[in-house]
Amino acid sequence: MRRSAPDKPDVLLAGGGLASCLAALRLAETRLKVVLVEAGSQICGNHTWSFHQTDLPADDLERVAPLIAHSWQSQKVVFPRFERVLSTPYASITSETLRAAVYRSENITVRENSPIEDLGADHAVLDNGDRIHADCIIDGRGFSDAPGLKLGFQKFVGVELELDRPHGEQMPTIMDASVDQQDGYRFFYVLPFSPTRLLIEDTRYSDGGDLDFEALHSDILAYAATRAWVVKKAVRTEKGVLPVTLAHDVERFWSAIPAATAPIGLRAGLSHPTTGYSLPMAVETANLIAALERPLTTDRVRRAIYRYAVTRNREQAFFRLLNRMLFRAAEPEKRYIVMQRFYTLRQPLIERFYAGRVRLADKMRVLVGKPPVPIHRAIGCVSEARALAGE
* Predicted confidence pLDDT, tens digits, the chain (391 residues): 455 555 689 999 999 999 999 999 999 999 999 999 999 999 999 999 999 999 999 999 999 999 999 999 999 999 999 999 999 999 999 999 999 999 999 999 999 999 999 999 999 999 999 999 999 999 999 988 788 999 999 999 999 999 999 999 999 999 999 999 999 999 999 999 999 999 999 999 999 999 999 999 999 999 999 999 999 999 999 999 999 999 999 999 999 999 888 999 999 999 999 998 999 999 999 999 999 999 999 999 999 999 999 999 999 999 999 999 899 888 899 999 999 999 999 999 999 999 999 999 999 999 887 656 666 576 767 888 888 887 5
Q: Examine the fold and report which residue of 285, 315, 345 is the final residue of a domain before the chain moves on.
A: 315
Please state whether the predicted TM-score (pTM) of the whole model is above 0.85.
yes
- Does residue 138 sit in the same domain as residue 255? yes
Same domain? 384 vs 358: yes
Name the residue range of residue 264's domain.
Answer: 11-51+59-68+94-147+249-315
Q: Does residue 258 share a domain with residue 225?
A: no
Q: What are the two backbone dihedrals, phi and then psi, of residue 191, each rounded to the nearest 5 degrees?
A: -115, 120
Closest CA to 136 of 246, 30, 224, 222: 30
Pairing of β 75-78 and β 173-176: parallel
What is each CA distance from 45 to 38, 174, 227, in whole angstroms? Answer: 10, 23, 30
- Contact indicator for 372, 335 with CB cutoff of 8 Å: no
> In 3D, which of 92, 112, 119, 134 has the Cα closest to residue 44?
112
Burial of 128: CB neighbours in 10 Å, binned 0-12, 13-18, 19+: exposed
Peptide bond into 371 cis (omega under 30): no
CA distances from 389 to 147, 148, 248 (A): 11, 10, 11
From residue 23, how far is each of 56, 241, 266, 336, 362 by CA, in Å? 16, 23, 13, 36, 31
The SS3 call for residue 125 is: strand
Residue 89 one-letter amino acid: P
* CATH number, domain with residue 292: 3.50.50.60
* 328 and 302 share one domain: no
Cα–Cα distance for residue pair 378/355, rounded to 1 Å: 25
How many angstroms separate the CA atoms of 172 and 189, rounded? 8
pLDDT at position 25: 98
Same domain, yes or no: 30 and 132: yes
Last residue of a domain, one of 224, 246, 268: 246
Sign (positive/negative) of CA torsion 341, 344, 349, 353?
Answer: positive
Neighbours of 244 (CB within 10 A): 25
Total tally of structural domains belonging to the chain? 3
126 and 255 belong to one structural domain: yes
Q: Is the domain of 135 the same as that of 33?
A: yes
Instruction: Evaluate whether residue 117 is within a structural domain.
Output: yes
Pair (173, 225) in one structural domain: yes
SS3 48: strand
CA atoms of 256 and 213, how far apart (whole Å): 32
Q: 325 forms bridges with which residues in the sheet?
A: none
- Whole-angstrom Cα distance, residue 273 to residue 318? 10
What local confidence, expressed as pLDDT, does residue 298 receive? 97
Return the pLDDT at 1.
Answer: 42
Bridge partners (DSSP) of residue 83 are: 78
Distances (CA, A) of 193 to 91, 163, 228, 307, 368: 11, 11, 18, 39, 38
Torsion of CA 51, 57, 61, 62, to 10 degrees: 170
- Report the sign of the C-alpha dihedral through residues 344, 349, 351, 357, in that order: negative
Q: How far apart are CA 193 and CA 169, in angstroms?
A: 10
pLDDT at 371: 59
37 with 128, same domain? Answer: yes
Contact 18, 282 (CB under 8 A): yes
Provide the pLDDT for residue 389. Answer: 84
On whether both 158 and 288 belong to a single domain, the answer is no
CATH code of the domain covering residue 191: 3.30.70
